[in-house]
Amino acid sequence: MLDAPNNIPDVVIKRLPIYSRALVQILATRQRTVSSNELAMATGSTAAQIRRDLSYFGGFGKQGKGYDVERLLAAIREILNLNEQWPVVLIGAGSLGQAVARYGGFAEQGFVVRRVFDHNVDRIGMRINDLVVQDVREMAELVRQEGILVAILAVPAGAAQKVADDLAKAGVKAILNYAPSTIQVPDDVRVHDIDPVAALQSLTYYLTPSEAQARGVSHRVS
């Protein structure tokens, strides 16, 4: 296990999976070494940023020779604790939750959805692939019994905080939150919010009304 300081900025940790994904793509081309400049181009970062981020975890490259792709990829996966499978609970079996449950990319990367919960009686008992939706009232006890640390929230905004509270009390330490709501959790629980609407709103900042008008699109919201 690599030694990693506890004061690493969150933004650095969030960039590591981006570097990992780029390294996988580079390795697929049979390229064995990569420079910080090449990795920067593949990730949309800068060479200086990459060197600075990786320096938190020790030295991986050699001056003038770059990084060994396989070694760097293995090191990042170890830093991110990706060398084991992580069981996950999914709360919310609506349209979004069903899509998440059916998405194969989680399992491919070591995150296996073990259980799905919902409060809607019309969804309880429904089968999604190999999973049967369970009553959310059973969630806390099962999470506690099975020692599950990772959860995905795909619930309405009004339900998110209550579910997050129950998950934290049951021992969950990492929550991926798709709910359009900011949730409060204890200091030892990490939350990563995914809000597609907010992402779109930040993108439209870079557009101009004249571009919408040129395409015959109204940009006014009443």
Residues with Cβ < 8 Å from 168, sequence gap 6 or more?
185, 186, 189
The model's confidence at residue 32, banded by pLDDT at 50, 70 and 90, is very high
Topology of the domain comprising 10-79: Arc Repressor Mutant, subunit A (1.10.10)
DSSP three-state, residue 151:
strand
- Can you give the pLDDT at residue 1? 40
Spell out the domain ranges in the chain: 10-79, 86-199
Residue pair 210/218 in contact by the 8 Å Cβ criterion: no
For 90, counting Cβ atoms within 10 Å of its Cβ (0-12 exposed, 13-18 middle, 19+ buried), the class is buried
What string of DSSP letters covers 127-149? Answer: EETTEEEEEGGGHHHHHHHHT--
- Can you give the pLDDT at residue 87? 97
Please, how many CA atoms are within 13 Å of residue 156, restricted to the half-sphere of its CB? 5
Bridge partners (DSSP) of residue 176 are 152, 192
Q: What is the CATH number of domain 86-199?
A: 3.40.50.720
Q: Give the residue-averaged pLDDT of 27-40.
A: 95
The model's confidence at residue 217, banded by pLDDT at 50, 70 and 90, is low
Helix (DSSP H) and strand (DSSP E) numbers for the chain: 10, 10
What string of DSSP letters covers 6-69? Answer: TT--HHHHHHHHHHHHHHHHHHHTT--EE-HHHHHHHHTS-HHHHHHHHHTT---EETTTEEEH
Q: 66-68 and 61-62: which strand pairing?
A: antiparallel
> Is residue 2 over pLDDT 80?
no
In angstroms, the Cα distances linking 208 to 109, 197, 217 are: 39, 18, 12
The model's confidence at residue 96, banded by pLDDT at 50, 70 and 90, is very high
> Is residue 3 over pLDDT 80?
no
